[in-house]
Structure 1
Amino acid sequence: MIKRPASKFKHDKFKHCWQRDTRESNMLFLMKQRKRGSCNLTQALVSFILVVYGIGSQAQERVIWHTADFAPYFIQDGPYKGQGIADRRLQLVIAGLPQFDHQVISGVTPARSNSEVVQKDNLCFVARIRTKAREQIMAFTEQPIIHTLSNGLITTRNRAASLTPYLNKEGALSLREFLLRSPYRLGLTPGRSFGPGIDEVLNQVRPIRPQGMVEVEADNHFRSRLLKLLYQDGYQAILGYPEELDYFTELLSLRGEELVYLPITEEPPLVAGHVACSKSDLGRRVVQAVDQLISQASFRQKVQDAYRHWLDPASLARYNRLLNRQSAQ
């Protein structure tokens, strides 16, 4: 005979259907109640399932973040592992979104990410350039999470001396003229966006002069491309951020004067970086929540500080100058 605590269920509509702590006693109770006809079996079964199996407590929705082998944005190994520009940015975003259950998958190639974002409804990226093509398959934050220095052309100083016909008076290079007229080939990573202006030039020139570009392996990161640029002749220039060049120049103990970064005329000097997610209901709710974080001045300052930390003095001075000019407009 199960003893019921009458006071606990005094005002309960189903006071004869209370649950015990163990599965065995609950099942025994339900069988007895069915025989006695004192409560509705369906209601009792529902109550039993909710209590015993914990159904009804709302679980956090899982959000998966892809990161790439893309130093100094994502640093996968070495003494600075997890301390890259976008590593820190992702840590700030995750800390600001405790309502979601976050999972980070590291070392994913751009091509794989672009494929899986269509297949999954909970995939996100903390560092994405917003393009028309990506807008078809991803939901983006309305506000940029940060503006960074744009990608430029990186080559050796000896080769750069022959590129003066393609430079303007500020020393920026016309990528279109370089690809159409120079004898050099450009090494490109499949699936990576370099900014709307650069991407447009690449798409326009590729059918006209495909021999001016060569695609490198998807897992061939900047370090390998930089070494091949210096010591092999498969291609004579690559595209990259100035902070990429500075990081690997120091990491590989290269002489900085050997390599040159040239801004590109077809791309604004600052590029907007966004958070992007799967184009789903969950993805849209995540980017909306990130937009609320971006609206906080303290959050924006922390994101910018994480970026400034990795800039060399010359790039930092240029970045601050461009930001001030942008703010004044």
Structure 2
Amino acid sequence: MIKIILLLFIAFQSSFVFAKQITWIAIDFAPYYILADDLEGQGRDELLIKLIQQQMPDYTFNYKVFPASRAIHELSNFNNQYCMISLYKTVERQRHIAFSEEYSTIGLSTSAALRKDVAQSLGITNSAIDLEKLVTEHGLTVGVAANRSFGHEIDALLAGLPSKQVLVRPGRDTLESLTIMLLKKRVDVILGYPSEHHYHKLHVDKQDELTQVRLSIASQITAGYAGCNNNAIGKEQIAAISEALKQAHKNEQFRLAMSRWLPEQFQPQLASIFKN
């Protein structure tokens, strides 16, 4: 009997400890997390987590770094105890991940980076492009990071393209690797978001060879959500995080964090979101 009581006490204590601390998944994916740079800690999602912590003073926040391609796997494991922000809600993910009711991040939708010479040869200017047409009619190869969702429409489009013309990049620093491959003409188009392309252009495109354009299939605005492992503690944590996000959205620092790495030409579009 004493042994049973002791085990129950330990289990209770363990649950209490986990309930009051959150281990955030951080990924090697600038500019959301900047892990090794002069601007370390100034990633968009890092700034947002700091803002969330201001609304959750009773919680201790920790971090665990994973390759971006492994983050969803870890977050989908029922036996883990992690949380993460800026996630697309998909039907498949909702089976394994407890998502926040409130959005965690908001910004401009998926864009395509490509070389300026390719854009010029195809007559691409600043207007949105038809990605399917570029791949099927012009034979371009598109590069994407492994295990990443861009929302139902774009995910479905990518799944329907010829597999030999879609390069899926696993491992660490995937978008930086894809950007370098783009410069070396190993791929023709890479998908990401405006702030991502802007950050990597600043770091690796020394000759100003790259540009980015919107996708015609994508809506102008996209929202990401927070998620935790879908177990009892994870559900408690995500409920608290959702309440914290509701308060964080009212803070001017939230707006500054969302626009931290957005290229200047896209700033007015994001500003219009917050005015509405």
Q: Paired residue for 2:150?
A: 194
How many pairs are equivalent? 267
Per-residue deviation, 1:311: 2.1
Greater alpha carbon shift after TM alignment, 170-179 vs 153-162: 170-179
Q: Paired residue for 1:148?
A: 107
2:28 matches 1:72 = no
2:246 matches 1:287 = no
Q: Is the 8 A contact 1:146 1:300 kept in 2?
A: no
Query: Could you say what secondary structure the match of 2:52 adopts?
Result: helix
2:112 matches 1:112 = no
Q: Is the 8 A contact 1:73 1:84 kept in 2?
A: yes
Q: Paired residue for 1:304?
A: 255
Equivalent residue in structure 2 for 1:237, among 184, 189, 201: 189
Matched to 2:17, the amino acid is Q
Once residues 135 and 205 of structure 2 are traced to their aligned partners in structure 1, the CA distance between those partners, rounded to angstroms, is 30
Once residues 138 and 300 of structure 1 are traced to their aligned partners in structure 2, the CA distance between those partners, rounded to angstroms, is 27
Per-residue deviation, 1:170: 7.1
Query: Could you say what secondary structure the match of 2:222 adopts?
Result: strand
TM-superposition CA deviations, 1:220-250 (whole Å, max 9, x none):
422222122112x321110111112222222
The within-5 A match list for 1:238-253 is 238-252=190-204
Higher normalized strand content (fraction of residues): 2
Q: Is the 8 A contact 1:60 1:99 kept in 2?
A: no
Q: Which has the higher contact order (CA 8 A, sep 6+)?
A: 2
Equivalent residue in structure 2 for 1:224, among 165, 177, 182: 177
Change (3 A) 1:159 1:64: same
How large is the Cα RMSD of the aligned pairs?
Answer: 2.7
Per-residue deviation, 1:58: 8.5
Q: Is the 8 A contact 2:29 2:68 kept in 1?
A: no
TM-superposition CA deviations, 1:280-318 (whole Å, max 9, x none):
122122221122122226655322211222223212122
Once residues 102 and 134 of structure 1 are traced to their aligned partners in structure 2, the CA distance between those partners, rounded to angstroms, is 24
TM-superposition CA deviations, 1:240-269 (whole Å, max 9, x none):
11112222222236244x211111121111
Per-residue deviation, 1:56: 7.4
Unaligned runs of 5+ in 1: 1-41
Per-residue deviation, 1:191: 0.7
Matched to 1:307, the amino acid is M
Percent identical among aligned pairs is 22
- Which has the larger Rg? 1
Q: Paired residue for 2:86?
A: 127
Query: Could you say what secondary structure the match of 1:296 adopts?
Result: helix
Q: Is the 8 A contact 2:22 2:83 kept in 1?
A: yes
Matched to 1:176, the amino acid is E
Once residues 221 and 229 of structure 2 are traced to their aligned partners in structure 1, the CA distance between those partners, rounded to angstroms, is 25
What TM-score do you get using the length of structure 1 for normalisation? 0.73
Once residues 273 and 54 of structure 2 are traced to their aligned partners in structure 1, the CA distance between those partners, rounded to angstroms, is 29
Q: Is the 8 A contact 2:55 2:247 kept in 1?
A: no
Query: Could you say what secondary structure the match of 1:67 adopts?
Result: strand
Greater alpha carbon shift after TM alignment, 304-313 vs 266-275: 304-313
Change (3 A) 1:195 1:162: farther
Once residues 133 and 148 of structure 1 are traced to their aligned partners in structure 2, the CA distance between those partners, rounded to angstroms, is 23
Once residues 234 and 29 of structure 2 are traced to their aligned partners in structure 1, the CA distance between those partners, rounded to angstroms, is 23
Change (3 A) 1:152 1:162: same
